[in-house]
Amino acid sequence: MTIDAHGTHRAHSAAEQNAAVQDSAVQDDAWQDAAWQDENDELVAHAEAHAAHVLDAAAESQADISAEIAALGEAYHRELKDGAAPETQPRLDFAPYRSSLLRHPTKSLHHADPETIELYSPAFGHQDVHALESDLTIQHNGEPLGERIIVAGKVLDGDGRPVAGQLVEIWQANAAGRYVHKRDQHPAPLDPNFTGVGRCITGPDGSYRFTTIKPGAYPWKNHLNAWRPAHIHFSLFGQEFTQRIVTQMYFPGDQLFPLDPIYQSIVDQDARDRLVANYDHELTQPEWALGYTWDIILTGSKRTWTENEAFGDAGDDEE
């Protein structure tokens, strides 16, 4: 990068431009801080150390991966036919997602009754999250590029009770399919007006609402020509720590669904469908943004509830 006579920064190559935009996007963001930026720098070096493994995986074709996905899907359908109950969660052991091979437990999860601390959730409130953090399109000086959308819905527990006053965090790629993360080396443009991070606290009825940009699909190195369907990452807390979940919301009709080993790690079609938002014309705002609704159901709670908690007074002590 050079600085011209007017003191304007001028990047020479696309890579330099991206680096410059990335720096400014990171510096602009009110919630960024130097400490974890350093951690990201460390991650880059480690990613390079694993490059050989990544290249091996890249030699496999989509057809190879799709055949593995199909075989696992057929075996699951035979189980269903034989009377097995449907699966509701992703498999931790799902070989088509190559990164899972050494990262899934091989012993069965141990059945345990949640005790004491596990029956409560940390409390979050408006001290933690500013109302403006739910709008990902106003975090910089200009308007981000892409299709402006509203994503809204409710967080409910397994009994249909609203999860009130709890933290929702989201992160996502920009409209071009690029994350503001140094490990994302996809040569698509960064957007100086879009970081892709949002937070909110659910309302008394469990409702959340974000204004953002529709993320693009992006390539990854699970296999050759692997592309993730467009998605928004969601992190959710319930009223008990046992309800904690991190997941991804997808958009309806994505042609990449059958090809994606992460989406397909949920082998049950009904369960997979629960991650796909609905286009909602009632939520769409004229001449402003398209609306998508997506409700999130957490597991049932184990605790005996008091009336106060059921109405959502827990978790928000703001006066």
Partner 1 sequence: MSKLTPTPGQTVGPFYGYALPFTKDNELLAPGSPGSIRLQGTVYDGAGHTIPDAILEIWQPDAEGNVVQHTGSLVRDGYTFTGWGRSAVGNTGIFTFTTVNPGPTSEGPTGKGSAPFISVAVFARGLMNRLFTRIYLPENEEALANDPLLSSLPEERRKTVIARRDPDGGLTWDLRLQGPDETVFLDFQGSSTETGAYR
Ranges within 68-87 binding partner 1 (CB under 8 A): 84-87
Q: Which x/- pattern over 100-119 shows residues binding partner 1 (rule: CB under 8 A)?
A: xxxxxxxxxxxxxxxxxxx-
- Identify the residue among 56, 64, 93, 205 touching partner 1 (CB under 8 A): 93
Told to check if 42 binds partner 1 by CB under 8 A, we report: yes
Q: How far apart are CA 255 and CA 167, in angstroms?
A: 31
Q: Dihedrals φ, ψ of 144, to 5°?
A: -65, 155
Region 17-36 residues binding partner 1, contact defined as CB under 8 A: 26, 31-33, 35-36
Q: How far apart are CA 173 and CA 197, in angstroms?
A: 9
- Given the residues 161, 231, 250, 292, the one annotated as active site: 231
Region 189-228 residues binding partner 1, contact defined as CB under 8 A: 195-197, 199
Q: Give the total of residues touching partner 1 (CB under 8 A).
A: 104
CA of 314: how far to CAs of 99, 125, 138, 307, in Å? 38, 10, 30, 11
Instruction: For residue 46, indicate whether it is catalytic.
Output: no
Which residues have C-beta within 8 Å of that of residue 53, sequence separation ≥ 6?
none
Closest among 7, 57, 6, 15 to 186, alpha carbons compared: 15
Instruction: For residue 233, indicate whether it is catalytic.
Output: yes
Region 220-279 residues binding partner 1, contact defined as CB under 8 A: 233, 235, 241-242, 244-248, 262-263, 265-267, 270-272, 274-275
Contact status, residue 174 vs residue 184, Cβ threshold 8 Å: no
Query: From the centroid of its chain, how far is CA 37?
Result: 20
Instruction: For residue 179, indicate whether it is catalytic.
Output: yes
- Given the residues 233, 244, 272, 274, the one annotated as active site: 233
210-247 in b/e form (b: 16+ CB < 10 A) is bbbbbbbbbebbbbeebbbbbbbbbebbbbbebbebee
Q: How far apart are CA 109 and CA 98, in angstroms?
A: 21
Judged by beta carbon, residue 17 or residue 248, the one nearer partner 1 is: 248
Show the 3-state SS of 71-98.
HHHHHHHHHHHCCCCCCCCCCCCCCCCH
Candidate ranges 10-18, 56-64, 127-135, 278-286; the one touching partner 1 (CB under 8 A): 127-135
Instruction: For residue 272, indicate whether it is catalytic.
Output: no
Q: How far apart are CA 148 and CA 193, in angstroms?
A: 13
Query: From the centroid of its chain, how far is CA 199?
Result: 12
- Given the residues 97, 98, 228, 263, the one annotated as active site: 228
Token code pair at residue 194? 């879009």
Region 293-312 residues binding partner 1, contact defined as CB under 8 A: 296-300, 302
Instruction: For residue 228, indicate whether it is catalytic.
Output: yes
- Identify the residue among 65, 156, 277, 289 touching partner 1 (CB under 8 A): 156
Contact status, residue 134 vs residue 200, Cβ threshold 8 Å: yes
- Identify the residue among 16, 74, 147, 159 touching partner 1 (CB under 8 A): 159
As annotated, the active-site residues are 179, 218, 228, 231, 233
